[in-house]
């Protein structure tokens, strides 16, 4: 009888720990999402490396995320829709750039606020953008320039 009580208690503890793990994993998975915010749009000539859910950072702090990426059929640029936390108000002359976190890090959107007195409105397009830099292309140009100098 004592053996059954111990086995039941151990089984109960295992179930409680498993439920706790799933709750923890769910909360961690949802913590990186923007709970509420306002949408802005931006055109990039090259949005390579940016995906839905990519971070939008200001001074190294996450202030939003990329919600959607589509192709602007008139300009053939990548049109990004980003969601910014409601408590962050960005000036109209804000600029954004696609940057890489370190040498091999993932790409994210870096925000540089401007000095305008007016703020961007919901759904407004950010005018000042800088596309992703293609590292492979830069390395190729560097190697080519070193090779062409020696004859």
Same domain? For 48 and 22 the reply is no
The mean pLDDT of 99-110, rounded to a whole number, is 83
- In this predicted structure, the answer to whether residue 127 has a pLDDT above a threshold of 60 is yes
Shared domain for 42 and 8, answered yes or no, is no
**pLDDT(95) > 80:** yes
Does 15 share its domain with 69? no
* Same-domain check for residues 51 and 101: yes
pLDDT at 35: 55
Q: How many domains does the chain have?
A: 2
Q: For residue range 57-84, what is the model confidence (pLDDT) as tens digits?
A: 999 899 999 999 999 899 999 999 999 9
Do 20 and 70 have their domain in common? no
Domain range enclosing 21: 1-31
Q: Is the model more confident about 24 or about 59?
A: 59
- Can you list the pairs that 53-59 forms with residues at least 24 positions away whose Cβ atoms lie under 8 Å? 54/106, 54/107, 54/108, 54/109, 55/108, 55/109, 56/82, 56/83, 56/84, 56/96, 56/108, 56/109, 56/111, 57/108, 57/109, 57/110, 57/111, 58/88, 58/110, 58/111, 58/113
From CA 133, how far away is CA 52, in angstroms rounded? 19
Examine the domain organization and report whether 106 and 121 are in the same domain. Answer: yes
Say what the pTM is. Answer: 0.65
Q: How far apart are CA 44 and CA 22, in angstroms?
A: 39
pLDDT at 30: 57
pLDDT higher than 90, residue 31: no
Residue 38: phi and psi, rounded to 5, are -120, 150
């Amino acid at each position: 009888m004592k053996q059954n009580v111990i086995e039941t208690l151990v089984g109960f503890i295992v179930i409680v720990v498993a439920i706790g793990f799933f709750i923890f994993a769910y909360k961690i998975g949802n913590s990186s999402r923007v709970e509420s915010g306002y949408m802005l749009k931006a055109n990039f000539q090259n949005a390579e490396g940016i995906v839905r859910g990519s971070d939008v950072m200001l001074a190294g702090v996450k202030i939003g995320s990329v919600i959607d990426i589509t192709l602007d059929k008139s300009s053939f640029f990548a049109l990004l829709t980003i969601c910014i936390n409601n408590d962050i108000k960005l000036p109209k002359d804000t600029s954004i750039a696609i940057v890489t976190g370190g040498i091999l890090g993932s790409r994210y959107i870096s925000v540089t606020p401007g000095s305008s007195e007016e703020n961007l409105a919901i759904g407004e397009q950010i005018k000042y953008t800088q596309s992703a830099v293609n590292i492979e292309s830069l390395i190729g140009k560097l190697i080519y320039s070193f090779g062409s100098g020696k004859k």
